[in-house]
Amino acid sequence: MNSARWGPPPATPGRLGPPDAAGLGRVPKVGKPEPDPFLGAPGGPAMSPQGCLSVTKYFLFLFNLLFFLLGGIILSFGLWILIDQQSFAAVLGSSLYALKVWSYILSGVGIITMLMGFLGCLGSLKEIRCMLGFYFGFLFLLFAVQITIGVLLYTQRVTLSGKVREFVEDAIRTYPLAGPPGEKHQGWDFIQGQLQCCGWNSYLDWHQNPVVDNSSHILYPCSCHNSSSPGERSTNTTEAPAMQQATGFCTAQGDWPVYKQGCANSVQGWLANNIISIVGICLGIALMELCLMMLSMFLFRNMGQNYDKLTRYS
């Protein structure tokens, strides 16, 4: 009897054959190999997963290194303004309150930027997975806060406008005569000077101030002063700088040489003229945060199993 007739059938290409004679395994699969998802088809261009991870790692490192250096510069500038306010006020002609606010803002932005840069740099370069997780969570938190603030500003814009109007009316009504103005009064003086406006609805809002009302409307706020006003020639302008530093009120001989437009219209006009720039900046920041979150999560998920590098430094 022909033994080939009863022997195991030959293995077909691409399939597993039956168990061998000893019953210890199957015939190895032969045929055309399947393409590897990372290395590509045989004979084609290869893309190493390690190379992709290396590019992602060093890109995150360099980008966050620039972030860290930029945060240090911003923090140093904010502290410089906070320490040397008098010099900046003399050079820029700004109020001390405005400089204090800007110094706090710059210092806060610098600290947050340096923290993000530190987590991104060390986490990506040393492949510390927990730092990359904190980095992703921090970016996600910032992104969520930005979205929340945007939604609240849009949905509560009427309520917010009413709160701002109440704050401004209170600042105008309580503006003091004796001694230097308070911080909120200096802040409102800064806004009126920068936007070239007076009051919230119009300059007549200042008639609610007891100091102005008791002076028979001779005194007016120096921050509303309009040098191109028709009544400028009849106004004692030599008192303006001294009075501004002492009380914030100037003396008028006749009609007030002030801006007639209220700051509410000026704010709306400024927003209308700069809305495209504001939206573009916000979208750019949001897209950058999304890209950094995706890169950090890609690096986080594709590290090796021995990812905990913190044990090296313990």
- For residue 254, what is the DSSP state? S
pLDDT score recorded for residue 92: 65
- Partners of 249 in beta bridges: 221
Distances (CA, A) of 247 to 11, 94, 179, 199, 220: 101, 16, 6, 17, 11
Distance CA 304, CA 314 (A): 20
In this predicted structure, the answer to whether residue 57 has a pLDDT above a threshold of 90 is no
Distance CA 124, CA 286 (A): 21
- Which range of 68-72, 98-102, 189-193, 213-217 scores highest in mean pLDDT? It is 68-72
Tell how many helices (H) and how many strands (E) occur in the chain: 10, 2
How much is the pTM? 0.64
**Token couple for 70:** 């930029």
3-state secondary structure at position 62: helix
**What average pLDDT does the segment 270-298 reach?**
86
pLDDT score recorded for residue 69: 93
In this predicted structure, the answer to whether residue 22 has a pLDDT above a threshold of 60 is no
In this predicted structure, the answer to whether residue 197 has a pLDDT above a threshold of 60 is yes
Summarised one tens digit per residue, pLDDT across range 160-195 is 888 888 988 898 998 887 666 777 888 888 888 888
Give the confidence band of 73 by pLDDT, cuts at 50, 70, 90: very high
Summarised one tens digit per residue, pLDDT across range 84-143 is 877 776 666 566 777 788 889 889 999 999 999 999 888 888 888 888 889 999 999 989
Distance CA 102, CA 162 (A): 25
The residue ranking higher by pLDDT, 310 or 149, is 149
In this predicted structure, the answer to whether residue 208 has a pLDDT above a threshold of 70 is yes
pLDDT score recorded for residue 8: 54
- Partners of 106 in beta bridges: none
Radius of gyration of the chain (CA): 35
